[in-house]
Amino acid sequence: MWKGRFSQDTDEAVQKFTQSLDMDWRMALADIRGSIAHVRMLGHTGLLSEEEASVIEKNLCLIAEEVRNGALVPKVSLEDVHMNIESRLIELCGPTGAKLHMGRSRNDQANTTVRLWLRKELLDIWDGLNDLISSLLKKAEEHAETVVPGYTHLQQAQPISMGQFWMAHAHAFLRDAKRLFDAYDAVDESPLGCGALAGSTLPLDREFTCNDLGFSSVTGNSMDTVAHRDHFMDVLYFAAVFGGHVSRLSEDLIIYFSTEFGWVKLPDSFCTGSSIMPQKKNPDVLEILRGKAGQLNGALMDLLTMTKGIPLTYNRDLQDDKRSLLRTIDCLHGIFSVLPALIREVAVDEEAANRGFRDGLILATDVAEYLVLQGVPFRNAHEKVGRIVRHCLDNDKPLTSLTLQEWQDNIPEVKGDLIPLLSPKRSMERRDTLGGTSPAQVKLQIENISLRLMMFDKEAKEFRERIPEGY
């Protein structure tokens, strides 16, 4: 392409080293669609005759077909998807094809191509996230009345509804959805017409290509546009935070699934065995999911580090931006291919979960709060109950086995109405503050999150409708 200026062919190792086909060939259809918009604009502004514009568009459609059926095999010597498509076009329609690249640089072209490709990927990722959150909502509904231990410091803390547990994860993923949609907004801008860095002397119509490609707006500064990758960072940041949430959910389930906890049941189809220990049933899927955070964080660090200190504007370092992006997108698709289905299959053994309540100490806060309602200052109540806890531990007695007499010997403010409150189920049901763990509150959360999920999905549908056909 630059044979005019050069007297030597590019070294073969250099060709291999500098190519980006291994990343951008999968965006070939998006690239062609971007070129079609460019050609339509050139026709619209009179830079191409109607005849020329239509010849180029027809041949680009032909090339799209060749890409789809695998007939067009890209050449590494042509460096990237953009030059491979353009070169094929020139092969097909000669001097007319050679007019395609007027008013355009690969700097704004590559930028456009990735954005076009990425918009669709992000909407597919939304579908996965929607599926995941929906599976959590369903589980929460199923388990709204199921009482299990809640932990802080991985020590038994207070009884909770298993529905509250699922909803805790659903809330985290819903915040991820917000970040995903913010990233989509950042991606959904049209760079086409920025040229190499400074715009063009030709009378390009950027609004035209923007509308033809269904972008929400044109970018504001040609130099900034070809130089920055903030929109990728937004995507990678969403993914990194999401990866942390996936990791935590996986770890929770791995712990509850362990022999020692033993109250979460995973189906055989989501576990694997051991090559030596016949008894083993390992939560490998969850472990792999837990580890994915590493790749997702790594991709974000990769791009943040790579872009630091690059001067304005386009520099070839930026070509590798796609590597971290693709790794992340593929990793996310992998997560969504198993996690929602796994959640749907998880069962909870409430009886096994409740075995952990045998000493009754998980109800200690309930007693302290009971005393507060009898007029005891909380700090005194805490101490009184602390002493009872020690009494129970010293005498190996469950808190729930104490008689009214024993209670009153230690804490005179206790009355008969305390005794019926001392069950994990009652305890869970009575935590009825907004956002709390009572089944009523869990159901309220399910309603709220379902509504917000529907609103996000409606927005995603509107985005999808704005994406043009043909790629």
* Binding region for ligand ARG (CB under 6 A): 20, 24, 80, 106-107, 110, 314, 316, 318-319
What the block records as the tokens of 170 is 């659903």
Cβ proximity to ligand ARG: between 80 and 234 the closer is 80
Residue number with CB closer to ligand ARG (14 or 440): 14
The answer for residues whose C-beta is within 8 angstroms of residue 396's C-beta and 6 or more apart is: none
Q: Which is nearer to ligand ARG, 313 or 445 (CB)?
A: 313
Strand partners, 150: 158
CA distances (Å), 242 to each of 122, 190, 238, 294, in order? 14, 27, 6, 12
d(CA 365, CA 421): 12
Catalytic choice (216, 217, 258, 274): 274
How far is 152 from 416, CA to CA, in rounded Å? 30
Q: E strands, 415-462, where? A: none
Phi, psi of 322 (to 5 degrees): -70, -25
- Residue 252 and residue 154: Cα distance in Å, rounded? 10
Q: State which residue, 111 or 437, has the beta carbon closest to ligand ARG.
A: 111
DSSP string, 31-72: HHHHHHHHHHHHHHHTSS-HHHHHHHHHHHHHHHHHHHTT--
Name the minimum Å distance from CB 79 to ligand ARG.
6
- Catalytic residue from among 7, 153, 269, 275: 153
Give SS3 for 154. coil
Token digits for 141?
């509904």
Nearer to ligand ARG, 256 or 314 (CB): 314
Shortest spacing between CB 27 and ligand ARG, in angstroms: 10
Cα 224 to the chain's mean position, in Å? Answer: 27
285: its two tokens = 């899927």
Look up tokens 């998880």; give the residue. 346
Which of 110/140 has CB closer to ligand ARG?
110
Which backbone phi and psi does 352 adopt, to 5 degrees?
Answer: -65, -40
Shortest Å distance, C-beta 99 to ligand ARG: 20
In whole angstroms, the minimum distance from the beta carbon of 184 to ligand ARG comes to 22
Q: Is 153 a catalytic residue?
A: yes
Q: How far is the CB of 158 from ligand ARG (least distance, A)?
A: 54
**Phi/psi at 19 (5° precision):** -65, 155
Nearest approach in angstroms of CB 308 to ligand ARG is 18
Identify which of residues 316 and 379 has a Cβ nearer to ligand ARG in the complex.
Answer: 316
Largest CA distance in the chain: 102
Which run of H or E residues covers position 190? strand 189-190
Give catalytic residues, as residue numbers: 153, 274
